[in-house]
Structure 1
Amino acid sequence: MLIDFVGVLAENSCNLPRGARMSQPPAPHLPASPPALSEHDQEALHDLYVRGTPQNTLRAYERDLIYITAWKRARSSAADAAFAKTLQWPERQDMALKFILDHTRDLDKAPLNDPARHVAEALIEQGLRKSLACPAPSTLDRRIASWRAFHRMKNLESPFDAPLIKQARAKGRKAAAKAPAPKSAHPITREVLEAMLATCDGSLRGIRDRALLMLGWASGGRRRSEITRLMFEDISLKEFEAKGLIWLQLVESKTTLKGETPRLVLKGRAAQALVHWIEVAEITEGGLFRAISKSDRVLPRQLSPDAVYQIVRKRLSHAGYPKGFASPHGLRSGFLTQAALDGAPIQAAMRLSLHRSMMQAQKYYDDVDVAENPAADLLG
């Protein structure tokens, strides 16, 4: 039987307590199958969607559908109570327009009796919204993209494709436009990284943190989730003794699907630090980076992405940098920034960072080029 992800999740999403989320990942949704499809073909179609939908996308669908359903229930008037119990397929255009209007202005400046403000306050109380401030255009774009995807899954036209609504979205994007905040206040360049590594002592925790930071930086600026998902089985030590190389095979990344991620290489000090950690922690299988007890004993539990955040924050603090100086994304931005400073070709840096777009990686090179541009010194 095919699982109607959108329908099932929509029915349960608003019954969650404040701050709660679904305990299990959402089941992949499939479009309504043509009546002529046999049960065997339906199962094949289901399998196709399971294999073709990244887990990160499913988690985004889950979060967006929970938010959209909660917003609609709170936004609908008493006259629309029955209509608001579940999402409609296709959704009404007036509801789609209200969604855009409610999310393209600062509601803290709205009158206290403004319906949109009431809804936002209700969502904040449920832990689904952080503040009354206007959400980032990218956040709204993602939620609309999910809502449109839900319609495609049901083989229906989306209300967001209507000319008036498309124009309203474009105007709202311009009205709310602002310079995007960097994911890390500062890049963790080689100088910053060396200062962080200097705080790592010979304890198991110090050895682990050194290996984690060096791998995260030197392998191309890995994301937190990519670091913590690494298993011992994902690395190859066959060429370490002869060439000092370690090969990494990410199962998937934000920009690649399972089985499509190219191998990455780790060499030099970073490779040595990783091997040292593996040896002292006696890791022969399972998670590569693990929790360590207060008594400095390696535990079987893998680190979480939040643990990487705590490690970066702690090492920056020990190195004398102010609070909030950089986040784990600074490993990624720092790698590309350092590549630009050292004159490495952008294509070579992207080969390790796995950036999908040249434009995304180019901005780090542009910042360096502008700073070094002699035209910036014309005034002396």
Structure 2
Amino acid sequence: MTASPSNLPSRSPALSQEDQEVLDALNIRATPANTLRAYERDLLYVAAWKAARFGKALDWPEREEIALTFLLDHARDLKDAPLDDTARRTAEALIAQGLRKSLACPAPSTLDRRIASWLTFHQMKNLASPFDAPQVKQARARARRAAARPPTPKSQHPITRDVLEQLLATCQDSQRDCRDRALLMLGWASGGRRRSELTGLMREDVSLKDFDKSGVAWITLQDTKTTPKEETPRLVLKGRAAQALVHWIEVAEIDEGPLFRPVSKSDRVLTRRLSPDAVAQIVKRRLKLAGLPEGFASPHGLRSGFLTQAALDGAPIQAAMRLSRHRSMAQVQKYYDDVDIAENPATDLLG
């Protein structure tokens, strides 16, 4: 991790420096790169909040009253708070640093994530959690209820098969078109891949041993949010999607290294890895070329679109989950429920 050493908890006195370094390295190796980056961002936010609020660095373990104040400061909307309100002044300082967007009450999920990251650093050092104190736990539960809001979808619309076809129709024969076609089709047909999973793929993660015989490509996901490294999933890509992927590999002459790469303005394939943000730009550009409204869908629409289409086509939910790699059936069930209620004959009783 690259967080500032002054923000990190001190080493456990029960461990030698060598053992502590081994433990730190183990924690880092066992944690996905995206999660590590989220930990660092959240720790930076919490440290900046305490510095602005109290003029002090983080303590390890942190005191209960500090944790309680953090909860209270983030449990209300500060837009209408008096100008001299301490929580408001702290929030304005964080906005000035680019660490907070507005004075509005943060979403419960954002608050929960920052607290979870804070707790993770306590757990790494075997320190007591300030959020386990009864008063703090009660305040956290009440803050969550007070700030509850209807869940918003990560993508405004799912990219179902018909929408995907519109995006693919904008891809012609340039290197960029070949890449975008392969990325969109792999991202959708392999189960609705996350951005980090797409950009984390290496050429070595793609096996074409069965492609000539059966038109099948095998994909090994090394970097996934929900799967332990010892359970690296192997996914199958068939038909047009497999053909698009092989075509991209051939025209880009990718023998090793990152599978999806930037393409220069002169249509030259670069050697570095495509960034997750670039995937969002690819989806945005293809939506625009397809004549769809701006903001119609985000990259997560590939994931939600795959599951929605699986429900529309009557694919068993367990089969869809084997590809999407969801751990919770309840998360996937909502896509099936949305389709079921729309197709329910009782909704047509009035004609």
In the superposition, relative to structure 1, how do residues 73 and 156 fare at CA in structure 2: closer, same or farther (>3 Å)? same
Which residue of the partner structure matches residue 278 of structure 2?
Answer: 307
Other structure's SS at 2:91 match: helix
1:258 counterpart (198, 217, 229) = 229
Per-residue deviation at 1:43?
Answer: 5.4
Separation in 2, partners of 1:228, 1:153: 28
1:277 positional shift: 1.1
Question: Residue 211 of structure 1 is aligned with which of 152, 173, 182?
Answer: 182
Deviation at 1:269, TM superposition (A): 0.4
Q: Which of residues 336, 343, 360 is equivalent to 2:331? A: 360
Q: Is the 8 A contact 1:249 1:264 kept in 2?
A: yes
> Alpha-carbon deviations, 1:321-375, whole Å to 9, x = none?
0000000000000000000000001110110111111111111111111111122
**SS state at 1:75 partner:** helix
- Does residue 75 of the first structure (1) align with residue 53 of the second (2)? yes
Is the 8 Å Cα contact of residues 252 and 260 (structure 1) preserved in structure 2? no
Find the counterpart in structure 2 of residue 15 from structure 1. Answer: none
Q: Which residue of 2 aligns with 1:16?
A: none
Moved over 4 A (4+): 41-44
Residue aligned with 2:333, SS: helix
Distance change in 2, residues 1:129/1:264 (3 Å):
same
Relative to structure 1, is the Cα distance of residues 47 and 144 closer, same or farther in structure 2, using a 3 angstrom cutoff?
closer
Three-state SS of the structure 1 residue aligned to 2:79 is helix
- 2:81 aligns with 110
- Equivalent position of 2:61 in the other structure: 90
Secondary structure of 2:318's match?
Answer: helix
> Which is worse superposed, 282-291 or 123-132?
282-291
Quote how far apart the aligned CAs of 1:301 are: 2.5
Equivalent residue of 1:247, what SS? strand
Count of residue pairs brought into register by the alignment: 351
Q: Deviations over 1:152-176 (max 9, x none)?
A: 2332222211111111111111111
Corresponding letter in the other structure for 1:54:
P
Give CA deviations for 1:17-40 in whole Å, capped at 9, x if unaligned: xxxxxxxxxxxx8961525x694x
SS in 1 for 2:271: strand
Query: Secondary structure of 2:180's match?
Result: helix
Gaps of 5+ in 1: 12-28
The alignment's TM-score, normalised by the length of structure 1, stands at 0.88
Residues in 2 aligned to 1:133 and 1:307: alpha-carbon distance in whole angstroms: 29
Task: Describe how 1:1-380 pairs up with structure 2 within 5 A.
Answer: 8-10=5-7, 32=12, 34-35=14-15, 39=18, 41-42=19-20, 44-76=22-54, 81=55, 84=56, 86-380=57-351
- Does structure 2 conserve the Cα–Cα contact (< 8 Å) formed by 1:237 and 1:245? yes
Q: Hey, what's the Cα distance between the residues in 2 that align with 1:46 and 1:198?
A: 48
Determine what percentage of the aligned residue pairs are the same residue: 71
Q: Distance in 1 between matches of 2:307 and 2:275?
A: 24
User: C-alpha root-mean-square deviation of aligned residues, in Å?
Assistant: 2.0
- What SS does the corresponding residue of 2:262 show, helix, strand or coil? strand
